[in-house]
Amino acid sequence: MQDRFDKFEWMLDKSSPLPANESDDYSPPYGDVTALNRCRLIMDSVGMETLREIGRNAINLLETSVAIYEANGDYAFGMFSSGWCRLMDAASRELCNTDDNRTALSCGKWLCHENCWHDSAKRAIETGKSTDIACVGGIHLYAEPIYAGQRVVGAINIGYGDPPKSLDKLNALADRFNVDPETLKEIGDSYKSRPEFLVEATKKLLASFAKLIGEIVEKAEIQRKQQKNQLRELYLNNVLKAIRNVDQLIIKENDPSRLIQKACEELTDTMGYYNAWIVLLDEHSRNMTLTGSAGFNGGFNAFQDILNQGFLPSCVQRALEKKELIVINDPKNTCTNCPLSRHYHGRSALTHQLGNFGILSVSVPAHFAHDREEQALFVEVANDLAFALSKIEAEKQIHIKKHIIQTIPHPISLVSDNYRYLAVNEAYSRFHNETPNKITGRRITDFIDPDVFEQEIKPHLDRCLKGETVQYETLVDFYGTGNRWMRMEYTPFRNKENHIVGVVSHGLDITERRQAEEALQKSEERFSLAMEASNDGIWDWDLTTGHIYCSPGVTSMLGYDTTDVIENVEQWQDLIHPADRQKAYQVNLDCVNNLTDSFVVEYRMKTKDGGLKWILGRGRAVYRDVSGKALRMAGTHQDITERKHYEKKLKEKEKRYRSLFSSSHEGICLHELIYEQSTPVDYRILDVNPKYEELTGIRRDQAIGALGSQLYQSDPVPYLEIYAEVVATQSATSFETYFHPLEKHFFISVFSPSKNKFATVFQDKTNQKKMEEQLRHAHKMEAIGTLAGGIAHEFNNMLGIIIGNTELALDDIPESNPATDYIQEVKVASLRAKDVVQKLLSVARKTPESRKPIRIGTVIKDALNLMRRTIPATIDIRTDITCSDEMILGDLTEITQVVINLCTNSVHAMAEESGILQVGLDTLQVNRASAFYDEDLKPGDYVRLTVTDTGKGIEAAYMDRIYDPYFTTKDVDQGLGMGLAVVHGIVKKHDGAIKIQSVVGRGTTVDVLFPLIEAQTETGTEQIKTLQKGKERILVVDDEPSIVRLITQMLTRSGYEVVGETSSASALNVFKDTPEQFDLVISDMSMPEISGDQLAQAIKQIRPGIPIIICTGHSNRMDENRANQLGIDAFITKPFSRKNITEVIPKVLHKINSEGQS
């Protein structure tokens, strides 16, 4: 008994300092082993601050050691509280004989580590169950596995137990750990022994912490996976945006140099790629012709120098040889001979051939390099650029040919295989003094003497029709110009099937005049050929006649034969889609009427097969009359169906990007850094999604274009250093933070898609943080409740012995004896101690909630007495309690909670300075005219509790939210925001009302009303009664011999015959032997071997009618209701007086006798 009393004395003695070798802050001499953690799953998911809080709480009761391991054995956290654990760990580390902790961990000589990991934590991880083993350092180790879902991700273990006292064991440990035995003994003796129930409570607490860590790890893994997917989607959307801009550039740009440079800039500026470069090569020599680059900050010059020297890097050579996508995972270490490799730190390179024109290469984040969608998008943009370059080259060739045809002043004609003119240029026609139209379709002999034709011209034409190119000089007598010396060249003209169907004739006048005419004819012929090769069509509208000329390109692009013609406006309009007809006609009409000089319009035209093609129509007035009205107009048709297809795809991609961006369940914000002299000083918001607006309360139109410092009204700019580091290193990061401008906790992920830009993806963690704090508080209160229950049980037993023996002593000592007063003082103090235990149980929530008549004045005074020791001395507590006998129907614990919460709020409001806390209690009659009157409050008599402080007051903007759960204006370490919410709930449950008045800077007054009830005589009032006596035989069972002796004395003096037993098993055997010889059984509840309720059930099975009384100091398993359910006849709590027990016994016996007679 003395041993137990000593232990409880130790638990209550919190003033004694820790021994010198057990300071609160301790760092192992070998440093922090968690720095070697390679797994980091638990350490990064939970965070060191939370792990430290868990570790501190885990060993709070035992003050030994705690360790948290990853699944691979890496340390996530460790803490040593006792001097014994610190000494043994440091000593076994010294045995490793190395300064390197990694070597020490693997050498097998670090005894404490080997035992703690291999024998305890590792076994818990492998088996998935808790382990409990003897520690190599003389105490014990207990470990719990940590589950994240169904997977074991680590273990947490603690040391427990007393260091050995035996000199033999101490000497053995000293030899093994190479330490001084005297030091071991001194430190071991300084450790205060812990009761077994504290050890068991800590083990249960450890299981809760293991579960908490596992849940945090599981949530963190889910969050990381979601964030990775979101970052990938955001990145691919940026790539799609870059491709869209490049496709638009392809449509507009016709210069190769500008095209490739702007393409590189678009690919980087739209946050698609970090850098990009293009090299155009000569198709035959593979020498560089043009380059474009972006994102290298001048670093591309060195690469351009080696290209000028004719050196092609390996990535270029491979792309040219394989003609497929080349992926280089680590260019920095792979392409050592390339000057660009240093720009690829942490990224991969994608390289692809641009047809026969050159190479495109970009850098991407390494984890996206092998993404199939990423690769497909890159190949798509490479193919688009190759197509654009080929189109530019084709247009260039057509332009050159057209220019040549137009500038050569030589006569050119196209003659059929039956010697008719199929086409002639203007220069040729002038030789015959005819127009080309009048020559075309006629025979050569219509213009040249038939004999001359047969002898001089036909033989050459026949040779050419057989496939020979013929050149000769001859003198020709033309009808219009006479004899001219000509140098003639005949070339076979082939159709699409490559059959020779005519001759192209090119004549060169030996004289200056003839040369000019032949150049014109040749220019016209080549222009005609170029137009046939081009995809564009030409139209010429003569408004004076209404006739329209369309080149073959106009009809062929619609699928018609070159013989099909469009000759007038009506035929042209019939081919236009009805929905576009008015628009196309109107722009032409505006130009005709001189409202515009020219026009460009897009519309759809019907094809021969019934389909539709998009046409880009351009036109202008060539001639106008004096009034400005057009007389002749000319223009072109261009097939833009493919371009429209690309535009549609771009719109779909843009819609998809915007949909993903807008529908994200996390806030997304795009930014660009603002620099001053190369130093980041701020950032500008570029775009936000709807979730950003929801989480921040900031509208999109307010955010876009605003500076971070202005938008968040913060100096310095929030997280500027972190964001600048991400942009500078191109390394993504994430962090959890409390964002003061919005008073919220956020988990923020950051990455930089391109130069000077970064994106943030964030989640609101405010509610989660509050829930975690609430969970920690619940665990603490659970531990306190367990401790309070154990203390109450033991103290009530001891108080019962003290109170009972003082009563027996008072019976034996005459009232005239001076010792009577002293013993009476002991009894009064013991009864006060009994009240203290009951209040302790109330605060720890170990007493059941019940509403009964209570004197409100007494409750308020008791609550204030509990509060006084926690209130700073700078606060003056004043009371004005005018109620004495007034009673309410309420729960004692909940009314006490109201007083504590209201006073705590007032103390916090005056925490930074001195102040006055005024608590008043009076009565008030409420009617419809009262200030308190509302629909929920019934008229009548009430007691009013008033709590007033001189604190800082509550702002008017917060008054509507003060009863909301978790709403608080305090710092995060001063409360969860549940105080007034709890008070409001208790008051409403008691049919009362609460009213708060506050003035900022002057203080707050809280009035609480509870309905009064009629005064009642309180149960338990002391009345002088003659102690009742009896003669029955009673079996008394309690594992405390002192209590058995005490009850035996009490009952023997009251005339009863008592049989006392300190073993429940022995008592059961005694009862079995002679069950009819006992009239009553009195048993303790908490006993080893057989508990009181189990003993009662066993006795009832032997003799069902035997009356039984259960008594206990405190038990979670037994109360009055539970006793009734089990058929137990009476339930009393320790400590009890002789009067209590002697009043209960006759009632129970009388009840049994009455039931038996009936």
Instruction: Report the helix count and the strand count for the chain, using DSSP H and E.
Output: 38, 37
How far is CA 750 from its chain centroid?
A: 11
What are the beta bridge partners of residue 668? 761
Give residue 255's region: left, alpha or beta (phi > 0; psi -120 to 50): beta
Q: What is the amino acid identity at position 587?
A: V
Angle, helices 1138-1157/1041-1053, rounded to nearest 10 degrees: 70
For 113, half-sphere exposure in the C-beta direction (CA atoms, 13 angstrom radius) is 25
Q: Where are the alpha helices (DSSP H) in 595-638?
A: none
CA distance 981 to 967: 9
Residue 697 to residues 566, 711, 744, Cα–Cα distance (Å): 63, 12, 12
CA distance 596 to 1015: 102
Cβ contact 254:395 at 8 Å = yes
What is the value of pTM for the model shown? Answer: 0.35
Q: What is the pLDDT of residue 15?
A: 42
Q: Which residues contact 518 (CB under 8 A, 6 or more apart)?
A: 408, 409, 410, 411, 412, 427, 428, 486, 506, 507, 508, 509
**Virtual CA dihedral for 385, 388, 394, 399, nearest 10 degrees?**
-130
**How many residues in total does the chain contain?**
1158
Closest by CA position to 782, among listed 336, 202, 318:
202
Angstrom distance (rounded) from CA 716 to CA 738: 15
For 735-779, give the secondary structure using H, E and C.
Answer: EEEEECCCCEEEEEEEECCCCCEEEEEEEECHHHHHHHHHHHHHH
**First CA to last CA distance, the chain:** 46
1110: left (phi over 0), alpha (psi -120 to 50) or beta: beta
3-state secondary structure of 663: helix
Using CA atoms, how far apart are residues 431 and 411, in angstroms rounded to an integer? 8
3-state secondary structure of 1060: strand
Successive 10-residue mean pLDDT values, the chain, 1158 residues = 50 46 68 90 91 89 90 91 90 91 89 88 93 92 94 94 91 91 90 89 91 91 79 69 76 85 83 82 82 85 84 83 84 81 79 86 80 82 85 72 56 90 86 85 87 89 92 75 79 87 85 57 59 71 88 84 81 90 92 92 91 91 90 89 84 75 86 92 92 90 91 88 92 90 89 90 86 72 67 75 82 82 77 67 53 88 80 88 89 84 87 85 81 68 93 83 65 52 84 89 92 68 54 90 88 90 91 91 88 89 91 74 81 82 86 66
What local confidence, expressed as pLDDT, does residue 252 receive?
A: 80
From residue 146, give the alpha-carbon distance in Å to each of 52, 57, 95, 129, 150: 16, 17, 31, 9, 10
The DSSP code for 912 is T
Task: Report cis status (omega within 30 of 0) of the bond before 716.
Answer: yes
- In eight-state DSSP terms, residue 682 is E
Q: Which residues contact 202 (CB under 8 A, 6 or more apart)?
A: 58, 59, 61, 62, 158, 160
Instruction: Determine the distance from the C-alpha atom of residue 712 to the mean position of all C-alpha atoms in its chain, rounded to a whole number.
Output: 21
DSSP-derived secondary structure letter, 13: -
Q: Where are the alpha helices (DSSP H) in 855-968?
A: 856-868, 892-909
**482 DSSP β-pair partners:** 478
Cβ–Cβ < 8 Å for 601, 587: yes
According to the 3-state scheme, what is the secondary structure of 874-890?
Answer: CEEEEEEECCCCCEEEE
What domains are defined for the chain?
Answer: 2-219 (3.30.450), 253-388 (3.30.450.40), 408-534 (3.30.450.20), 536-663 (3.30.450.20), 665-764 (3.30.450.20), 848-1021 (3.30.565.10), 1033-1157 (3.40.50.2300)
For residues 79 and 63, the answer to whether their CB atoms sit within 8 Å is no
Q: Are strands 887-890 and 1003-1013 parallel, antiparallel or unpaired?
A: antiparallel
C-alpha–C-alpha distance, residues 41 and 75, integer Å: 11
Helix or strand holding residue 687 (H, E): strand 679-688
Q: Which helix (H) or strand (E) holds 502?
A: strand 500-509
Q: Which residue has the tokens 């240029």?
A: 425
Q: Mind spelling out the 3-state secondary structure of 504-543?
A: EEEEEECCHHHHHHHHHHHHHHHHHHHHHHCCCEEEEEEC
Map tokens 């155009």 to a residue: 280
What is the rounded distance in angstroms from the CA atom of residue 464 to the CA atom of residue 56? 104
**SS3 assignment, position 413:** strand
| Cα 919 from Cα 1005, distance rounded (Å) | 10
3-state helix, strand, coil in the chain (%, to 5): 45, 25, 30
- In order of 730, 788, 932, the CA distances from 956 in angstroms are 47, 42, 20
What are the C-alpha distances in Å from 696 to residues 690, 703, 710? Answer: 10, 10, 15
Cα separation, 508 vs 489, whole angstroms: 8
pLDDT for res 12: 55
In this structure, what token pair is assigned to residue 81?
Answer: 């509280």
C-beta of residue 213 within 8 angstroms of C-beta of residue 156: yes
Respond yes or no on whether the N-terminal peptide bond of residue 28 is cis (omega within 30° of 0): no
Tokens of 334: 């792979």
Cross-strand bridge partners of residue 1132: 1111
Do residues 421 and 436 touch, judged by C-beta distance below 8 A?
no
